[in-house]
Amino acid sequence: MSVPSLDHLEPPKVGATLQALRQSQGLSLDELSRRAGVSKSMLSQIERNQANPTVAVVWRLANALRVELSELLGGERAAAPAIETVAAHATPGMSSPDGLCQLRILGPIDLAGQFEWYQLTVQPGGALESAAHEPGSREHLSVLSGSLRVEAGGSSRTLSAGETARYAVDGPHAIRHLAALGDAQSEPAVALLVVLHP
């Protein structure tokens, strides 16, 4: 069996890509040299295509520039997936101090402080009590199962499954499960909570 000749193939020239990535991040050769642990003279030679780096050097440079190896080698950004998924076990959450209210954080972290949404589960006797948010903030609470009482702006409303409340949260506010703690007949209430910041 004959082996095809590889004489016509050349290793990828990463010089122009390295230089463009370095400059786009505002890094000097000195700074990238410190970050990557690669000598300044070697970086200069790579950028001028006078030297081809080893895999270890490319790996260090990619880590220092916070890019994928393929981006540095191929000169192309890794494409974002058409559909990004988050596994159930990887969805972050938090609980109230008494453990009776759980919030699963459904929104991406980069929208925190602007637009946030949560799955809220409130056990019988539980209450999610909150201090005032910044002026102009609003919450939207849609009950999926059970019932919850919303208290905001000196008023209160009880919501059943399928109902939504929209209210200002620039003052103290609360979301409560009306059943008593330990009520064996009552189920947890589940809702979607959306917080809009001004």
Q: Is 177 exposed, middle or buried (0-12, 13-18, 19+ CB in 10 A)?
A: buried
As a whole number, mean pLDDT of residues 171-194 equals 88
Q: Which domains does the chain have, with CATH numbers?
A: 15-74 (1.10.260.40), 88-196 (2.60.120.10)
Residues 34, 57: Cα–Cα separation, whole Å? 13
Residue that the structure tokens 């409130």 belong to: 122
pLDDT on residue 71: 79
User: pLDDT digit string (tens) for 106-136?
Assistant: 988 777 778 899 999 999 999 999 999 999 9
pLDDT on residue 176: 96
Identity of residue 15: G
What is the pairing mode between strands 101-105 and 147-152?
Answer: unpaired
Of the two residues 167 and 65, the one the predictor is more confident about is 167
Residues 120, 104: Cα–Cα separation, whole Å? 7
Angle at 182 between CA 148 and CA 188, to 5 degrees: 35
Would the pLDDT of 99 be above 80?
yes
User: What are the tokens at 62?
Assistant: 């990619």
Q: DSSP for 63-102, please give it.
A: HHHT--HHHHHHS-PPPPPSS----GGGS-EEE-TTSSEE
User: What are the tokens at 137?
Assistant: 């903030």
Of the two residues 6 and 106, the one the predictor is more confident about is 106
Helix (H) or strand (E) holding 61: helix 55-65
SS3 186: coil
